[in-house]
Each structure stands twice: as C-alpha cells, then as structure tokens.
Amino acid sequence: MAVTFDTVILNNISDGGIIDYNAISGGPEGSTTIVSSPFSGVSQRNVNRLDRLRRYSINTALLTVQQLNNLRQFWECRDAYARGFLMRDMTEFWASFDGSPQTPIGTPTVFGTGDGSTVNFGLYKTYSSGGVTRTRRIIKPISGTVSIYKNAVLQTLTTHYTIDHTTGIVTFVTAPANGLSLTWSGRFFTPVRFETDAFNAEMNDALTGLSYQGLPMLEIPPAEFGLSY
C-alpha cells in the first residue's frame, strides 16, 4: 500500500525557531541481531539492514499557547500516526559531507556512474570511514538547492536533466556515457511520520510554561514510496 504523505514541513510551524533548532533530537538507527553462545560467551552480530532509518523526538519547553496550538494542529491534521510529512534534520540536511549546511560547497557526492544507456538515477549521500562506505537514498531534495555534475562539469536544469523533488530521481536528457561519474550537492528533507496516536502536552506552571516531551517520529523508508534502496 502506498504511503499517505503530505508535503507540509514540520519546521515551518513554529515561530522563533522552536521546532527548527531546539526541539528535535535524534538520528540514524540500525538493526543488529546479537546471538551469544551460553557456553563459550562468544557472540555473533548480524546486520539486518544497511539502510538506516532515522528516529527523532520533539522535546519542547516554555512554549506559548500559540506555539503549542500550532504543534497540536499539525499533529491533528496528520491524523496522528497515519500521514507522513517533511522534516529538516538540522544536524544533517546537506549532501556534501564536507560542506556547509547552509551553502553546500564541499566535494559533491557521487550518486551514479554512466553506462551509455541509463537516464534515470536516484540521489544518494555517501558515508566513508576506515575503508568502509555506506550510502543513504535521498528522496526529498529541496527545490532550488541541487546542483548536478557529469564528469565534474556542472549541468543545466531542463537543458541537461530534470529532477523529481518527490522521489529524488534525476533524469538526464541524454544518457551519460559509460564510466562518467555523476555527482551532486544540495539540501534535502527527511520524510517522517509521528510514531504515536497520543498527543500528551504538559503544563509546567502557567500558560507560559507549556511543553511537550517525547513526541516521537520515524523516517519513512524509500520502499513505501515505491523506490528501491
């Protein structure tokens, strides 16, 4: 069943940057099974998936009535657990691992290699450490921030390629030649949904002491959008 998804942005709902910078915590979560021998104590670790999912939590304090109402309305209109939405992870919303989060100027990230026939490519972010490389599928690039390069040459939108900002799929007008490196830089949203059917706000002392602690969110995997990793 296809994901029910709204293209609204969580970080836009709160004035004063409450949701943007101070309230959201979290990051990637793996899935590892540990099997231990009851006799020798030796354990084996099985990695169940390499495509991490991001888990987040909203923790707010000293909200005004309007700010809490904004969050409540956002949650209500997403039908609690049912509808997905966009979120800007303030600790990681840029493609370039060595670039500035506001203006990605670092080394563009590889997202494919030409073979002379393929024109459609998904966007990826790459992580490298100690000779190991992992990738993350990017499906919600932010319009107006993406730069596409073919063999280190900047390409022109519509002239050389188009991009679907709902899937992160780049379509070249002409298939890149065999062996040509395809790279990109830019910013992206993380698609998430609330991970609870309950909205439990708190009043600490008075109407100026409203808060919400532990409103969970979970990243929506590419497969729910009909995309492979």
Other C-beta atoms within 10 Å of 194: how many?
23
pLDDT at 14: 57
pLDDT at 18: 54
Mean pLDDT of the chain: 87
Per-residue pLDDT tens over the stretch 50-83: 788 999 998 887 777 888 888 888 999 999 889 9
Residue type, 15: D
Both tokens of 220, joined, read 């929506």
Q: Which residues contact 138 (CB under 8 A, 6 or more apart)?
A: 95, 122, 123, 124, 125, 168, 188
Residue 216 confidence (pLDDT) above 90 = yes
Return the percentage of the chain with pLDDT > 70, whole number.
88
pLDDT at 46: 85
Phi-psi region of 206 (alpha: psi -120 to 50; beta: other; left: phi over 0): beta
Listed by start position, the domains of the chain span 1-93+189-229, 95-188
Kindly list the distances between the CA atom of residue 69 and the CA atoms of 21, 39, 45, 226, in Å, as whole numbers in the listed order: 19, 56, 45, 34
Q: How many CA atoms lie within 13 A of 213 on its CB side?
A: 7
Query: 148 with 124: CB under 8 angstroms?
Result: no
Residue 207 confidence (pLDDT) above 60 = no
Query: 141 with 188: CB under 8 angstroms?
Result: yes
Name the CATH architecture for the domain at 1-93+189-229. Beta Barrel (2.40)
Per-residue pLDDT tens over the stretch 98-134: 666 666 666 789 999 999 999 999 999 988 889 998 8
As a whole number, mean pLDDT of residues 168-181 equals: 97
